[in-house]
Every structure is written in structure tokens, then in C-alpha cells.
Structure 1
């Protein structure tokens, strides 16, 4: 689906860090005193550039909090988050917003498209917000690569759910971010559309070197990733490389068996992918 990047465009890009994402002892607590809930408990991990990682766990395990802290949408109460070689924690909100617009892409379950804008206009929105020049030819090519060459002027209400999510993926990739965070990107899609969206995310990593971090509850979606990380009670409790649907489902079924998890053996070890 995605064409390979030209040599000229590769040279024009700034150098990327070999380590796309790093969390060091990240902690997040909601509430105070007896009502305090630890959403993330000293989480440490390292993801290389160009990897596709799925994050899974039961409801309340900390999946969404992990994504929000890693993407700079929420500030952890402790620890550090480093994206593409730059630490996110400690900066001003204005600096963080600018960083997100240039180095981070987002794909959400409910698309988050603006109803009054066309597919082309929704795709270029991150560039306009960042004050960057819009290369319409490149935007058209991006939309062609996600199968929407004939839908440039269509608004979200005129598109199917799968088409809307493909616009969201084009929007996430158009600014050439270092990391793309996807929060349940197939949760609202039918099976065929979900498969197409997951293939696009996998190609973004394999062909374009983007680092994709996807939160999902679906073993089928997770099987498209290179690695699956499992969370339970705010801690990383395991990983699975080259995942299959059956292997993911089996691991999820046994997450409660805390005696077999690597996290209990070494709770503060950096989990490298």
C-alpha cells in the first residue's frame, strides 16, 4: 500500500534516534490518600525505531495511561519519558505541544476528524497547526497510498468507518513523526476494515521506519505487531515476540498468574523490545 520513500526525501529528514521511545520508572497515581489508585507503577521500557508494539492488558491495567504519558498527553507523577532522543517530562506545556505536533502522530478509536473539513483538509491539519508548508502533491500521494485518492473532497459523513480511520492514519503520518500512538484503532471497525487499517500501521513501521505503539484488547489486532507487551495492575508483566492470535489469547488468559511474570522477578528492569 505504502510506496517506498524516495532517497531525496530520506536525506531531507532530520536524523532520528535509534531508540524511539523510553520510559524510566514512570509512575502515575490518580486520587489521594485512601482513594489513590496507582495506574502506572514504576514502568520502564525501551522501543527501537521502526518497531510495531502492541500493549495489552485487562480493563484498569494502565494501558491508556501508559499511552497518554508516553505521548505527552498526560504528565507522570514520577520517572521520565524520552521520545526520539528528547525528554518530554519537565518542559513547558507550549514546548510539549510543539513537540507533539512535529514528532508524534495519533490515531484514535473514534477517528477525531473535523466534520466540516474534507479528507484532504483533515490530513493537512497537523501541518497547518504547526505552521509548516503544505505540499499538496505529497498529501494527495499519502491519501492515495491509504486508498483514498477518489475521496479527497469527501467529508467524514460521506466516508465509511474504515475510510475515516484511513484518513486518520494519513493525518498521523503526514508530518513524518518519530512515533505514532494508536489507541484501539480498530475498535469501531468491521473485520475487513480493521485488517486494512492494521496492515497500514504495520507498513508504516516496516516501510517508513515509523515506530507504532498500539493499545488494543483484540488478540487479532495484536498479532499484526512485532511484539506485544502485557500490563497488569500498572506493571509490565510480560512480552511476546512474533505474536500469533492463539499465543496472545493464551497469554491474556494467564495474566493473573503473577508468579510466572518477569515483572515480579525484576520489577524495575527496563523491558527492551
Structure 2
């Protein structure tokens, strides 16, 4: 079975792109291949001018730790660590010195300056996801990949996280690629890339929830 078939996509620096499609359309596979989590059986992946698919697995891991940020639906926070310890963990794993001052600055910017010594269990879902965003930002990555980042959040928390991701792009010049199933979440992006049956099925600029929902409803026709 082919998860992705002939997909070619580029994500402009300083842009926010949502990736959408039915279950099994290849969204997560695209995200994992683009981020260097999975190695495609064919094709090439470039991030910030570096061809990931031309490197060894060890080199790919090192590159990810330096130049790629991740935000996942289940936060991926370690319950035994404080907020600050969770945020600096990728740096420690990469053997880099953790800049505590910068960490605290980022947490303060995200409204978590007074929670840095708390453990995740004391935080709301939205606050945990903001910790995950802070962790992704701390390494100053070339791109941040987000896989259903609002899937486990209530409506208010989801809006806060999406507004934050948009600010990461427009205020800080980062590139964000987000997989989502929610047309309202996709409307926060600059553009939407649609997949169906492992193939590209169109794109939409300046998306609105209604326009995204309509395109999803007719995705089979678009793909054909």
C-alpha cells in the first residue's frame, strides 16, 4: 500500500500551512516525512537547504533536534519534569547548553512565566499545549510541525493555541505546517493543502471555515 503517491509540496519561509484530508489520506505520513521522522521510500526532503534524505539516520536525528520543532495532540510532556525542564529537554538531549534566561522569556511571552516550576498535571490542556509550543520554539527551528495540536482541547483553548501559532509565524517569522481535521482550525492558516488517497487534491489560499468545509465535502471530485 502506498501512503503518498507523487506528492510534491513546498512551504515558504514565514508561512502557516494547514494540511487536510480524509482519514487515511496521507496527512500524518506527509508530516512525518517532511519533518524527518520517517524516511520516504523514494523522493527527496529538504529543510532550510539541507537534504534530509541524503543523510544518515543519526545525522537526520541531530538535524531535527537543531532545526525542527514539534507540537503534537497529546503534548508529549514528561509528568515528572517541571514546565521549564520540559521546555529545555530537547536542548539537553542534543547536548546543547540550555539558555534558562531565554526559556523564561519564551514562557513569559506565552503567558506561562509564573508556571515554570509547576508540573504538567497542574496545568490545563491549553496551558500544556502552550508549553509544547514553547519547547518547539526554544531551539529556534527552521520549521515547526504540528499534528492535530488542538484535537484534545476545548474551543477556547484551541483558539488560544491557534492564535499563538499564527503569531509564531507572523510576529516571529517561523514556518508552521499543521495537520488538522477542523475547518475552523485551518482558517487560522495562510493556506490549506488538501490530500486524498495519498495524492495532492488541491490548495486554498486565505481559507475561511465555510470554504474549507465545502472543499472537504467535494474532495473526492477534486482529487479525481
TM-score by length of 2: 0.98
Q: How big is the alpha-carbon RMSD for the aligned residues of Structure 1 and Structure 2? A: 0.9
What are the ranges of 5 or more consecutive residues in structure 1 without an aligned counterpart?
1-36, 265-273
Quote the Cα distance in structure 2 between the aligned partners of 1:53 and 1:182: 10
The structural deviation recorded for 1:178 is 0.2
Task: Indicate whether 1:159 and 2:117 are aligned.
Answer: no
Distance in 1 separating the partners of 2:192 and 2:71: 18
**Paired residues for 1:112-151 under 5 Å:** 112-151=76-115
For residues 246-265 of structure 1, the C-alpha deviation after alignment (integer angstroms, 9 at most, x for no partner) is: 0000000000114xx5xx6x
- How big is each residue's C-alpha offset from its partner over 1:33-67, in whole Å with a ceiling of 9 and x where there is no partner? xxxx1110010011110000000000000000000
Q: Which structure is higher in helix share?
A: 2
The correspondence of residues 202-241 of structure 1 with structure 2, limited to 5 A, is: 202-241=166-205
1: distance between equivalents of 2:192 and 2:149?
16
Alignment of 1:43-58 (within 5 A): 43-58=7-22
For normalisation by structure 1, the TM-score amounts to: 0.81
- State the shift of 1:126 in Å: 1.1
Alignment size in residue pairs = 224
In the other structure, the counterpart of 1:257 is: 221
Which structure shows the bigger proportion of residues in strand conformation? 1
Q: CA deviation at 1:90?
A: 2.9
Greater Rg over alpha carbons, structure: 1
Structure 1 counterpart of 2:162: 198
Higher relative contact order (CA 8 A, sep 6+): 2
Where do 5+ consecutive residues of structure 2 fail to align? none
Shift of 1:137: 1.3
Quote the Cα distance in structure 2 between the aligned partners of 1:168 and 1:235: 30
Match of 2:27 in 1: 63
Q: Which residue of 2 aligns with 1:13?
A: none
Q: Find the aligned partners of 1:38 and 1:136 in 2 and give their Cα distance.
A: 44
Aligned equivalent of 1:169, options 118, 133, 141: 133
